[in-house]
Amino acid sequence: MSLELSFIIPAYNCEETLHRCVASIESDVQKSNAACEVLIIENGSTDETWNVAETLGEKYKNVVFLKSDKGVSKARNKGIKQAKGKWVVFVDADDEWIHGSIAKILEHVEKGCIDLLMCSYYKGDKRIVHDYKTMNEAFFDSLDDFKAWLLVRPTVRMQVWAKVFKKSIIEQYELRFNEGLSFSEDSEFLLRFVQHCDSMLVSDSPIYRYSSSGV
């Protein structure tokens, strides 16, 4: 069975949240019976993150734990290089996955030929629903219009989590996070990815719980 989803989790000083994050994904993997892998990339932690990752690797057979140099972009790039799934999903180690989301994702991507799935999410207990003019169906709209819509509210729309990226596009165009950026690396990667998309889908289904402050 070919892998459907590769979850990429940069892990830096997250000993207190990593287990919860991975457990939320694994609970959904078991429910969906989808073939998924979870890539944990520890990058320079000074706490017990690596030991937590090893424990998770022993508990879940689809968990792979790797090391990279310090930096979220370096960790994500290491994950991209190792990922074997048809689709790539980025998850931050202090956030959680919403139960039932894998089935929704596969339903969306199997409906038609889409390159990017952008989903709603929770910030704490508040549901953040996107308001693009075309919802829940693939659209072949102007890339410039879509990018302009993203840029209107970048902190709400331009993170890479709560999105599903087609791996073949990442590979074809050798897309990687810019390791020289200290901020806005999500936005910069997303804009370059969208530039190569033929179709996108914006869904009102929440798949992710953002637990940190800052949106």
Per residue in 110-157, pLDDT (tens digit) is 877 899 999 999 998 899 999 888 888 888 778 888 999 999 999 999
**pLDDT for 133:** 85
Alpha carbons within 13 A on the beta-carbon side of 4: 15
Residues of the chain with pLDDT under 70: 1, 212-215
Q: What is the pLDDT of residues 18-31, one digit of tens each?
A: 999 999 999 999 99
What is the predicted pLDDT for the residue at 215?
A: 39
Calpha distance 58→56 (Å, rounded) = 5
- Residues 88 and 7: their CA atoms lie apart, in Å, by 6
DSSP 100: T
Is pTM beyond 0.85 here?
yes
What is the reported pLDDT for 211?
87
Q: Give dist(CA 141, CA 25) in Å, integer.
A: 32
Query: Strand pairing of 116-123 and 163-166?
Result: antiparallel
